[in-house]
Amino acid sequence: MASDRGQNKNSDRERSDEFEDKVIHINRCAKVVKGGRRFTFAAIVVVGDKKGQVGIGLGKAGEVPDAIKKAGKKARKNLVKVALEGTTIPHAIQGTFGASSVLMKPALEGTGVIASSSVRAILEAVGVKNINAKSLRRDNPHNVVRATLDALMKLRTFSDIAKSRGKTIGEMLE
């Protein structure tokens, strides 16, 4: 019985180890009260397995580690599958959220990830190694992160398009 519990703990650790957490932004908010200022913290965290799955989460708490932990849990609940083509994306795409917009273009092998820090963290968590990305308009980290995720969810591979039309890849090429 005790050995079963140990195996379950190990399998949980293995599952959580396959995902990598990255803190994108930490915001401090102050509320003025009678005794002075009371601070709260908000953290944006991205979680990915570097194989096409990614999630983002926002956590708020009175302490930074607690906010990061909450954000990580929310990110694991909001995982989405991203269509990749090797180490890059299948086609150019633009994602928007609020006043922010992110433009992403596939790049050749050896280019690397050319992107702002917020976008770079998400793309590296997904597993993209070669891409050109540009944050357009506003640079609010909350909106840039959501715009990047919007663009990644819009990506479709050639086989996905053929499947949605009820055709084979050979019929699509003709």
Return the pLDDT at 18.
Answer: 85
Q: Residues 48-100: pLDDT tens digits?
A: 999 999 999 999 999 999 999 999 999 999 999 999 988 999 999 999 999 99
**Distance in angstroms (rounded) separating the CA atoms of residues 4 and 123:** 37
My answer on whether 152 and 86 are in the same domain is yes
- For 89, list phi and psi in degrees, rounded to 5: -100, 155
Among the ranges given (117-121, 137-141, 160-164, 169-173), the one the predictor scored with the smallest mean pLDDT: 169-173
- Co-location of 107 and 71 in the same domain: no
Are 60 and 74 in a shared domain? Answer: yes
122 and 46 Cβ atoms separated by less than 8 Å: yes
Distance between CA 65 and CA 130 in Å, rounded? 32
CATH number of the domain that 67 lies in? Answer: 3.30.160.20
Angle, helices 117-126/141-154, rounded to nearest 10 degrees: 40
Longest Cα pair distance anywhere in the chain, in angstroms? 74
Looking at the fold, whether 72 and 105 belong to one and the same domain comes out as no
Domain that holds residue 152: 82-162
**Average pLDDT over all residues of the chain:** 88
Q: Are residues 31 and 43 in the same domain?
A: yes
**pLDDT tens sequence across 18-35:** 889 999 999 999 999 999
Write out pLDDT tens, residues 110-138: 999 999 999 999 999 999 999 999 999 99
What percent of the chain shows pLDDT beyond 90? 74
- Assigned token pair, 127: 């597993």
How, if at all, do strands 113-114 and 131-137 pair? Answer: parallel
